[in-house]
Amino acid sequence: MPLILIKKMNEIHERLKQQRFRLSHHVWQKRHFDQSKNEDISEFKYFLDNHRWQDRCPFILEWPHLSITDMIRTRLIDEHIHRMLKK
């Protein structure tokens, strides 16, 4: 590499070391999905209708599920089956 290019790269590197980068430290509040809460069900309904969350995904992924949508579907199905068997 030419000497001019190396010097330029070193200058850029020094400037970057001197700058302070501001990182976002905002932590989104996430919660466990509760199939008994209408708010949680309406959040999921919005996701199903629009293929995106309203603001961000508000739920925590729980083991053994691999995705939040599968976790919610499983919980809703389990709740529905439980209610059917109670009748």
**Does 8 fall in a domain?**
no
Q: Which of 77, 74, 78, 49 is nearest to 59 (CA)?
A: 74
pLDDT of 29 reads: 85
Segment-wise mean pLDDT, segments of 10 residues, the chain, 87 residues: 73 70 64 94 95 91 92 94 88
**Does 17 fall in a domain?**
no
The total domain count for the chain is 1
pLDDT of 15 reads: 72
Residue the block writes with tokens 């989104």: 28
Cα 56 off chain centre by: 6
Enter the pTM of the model.
Answer: 0.65
**Number of neighbouring beta carbons within 10 Å of residue 2:** 7
**Does 3 fall in a domain?**
no
Cβ-proximal residues to 71 (8 Å cutoff; 6+ apart), any chain = 33, 59, 61, 62, 65
Residue range of the domain that includes 70 = 30-87
**Does 12 fall in a domain?**
no
**Does 9 fall in a domain?**
no
**Does 6 fall in a domain?**
no
pLDDT of 24 reads: 52
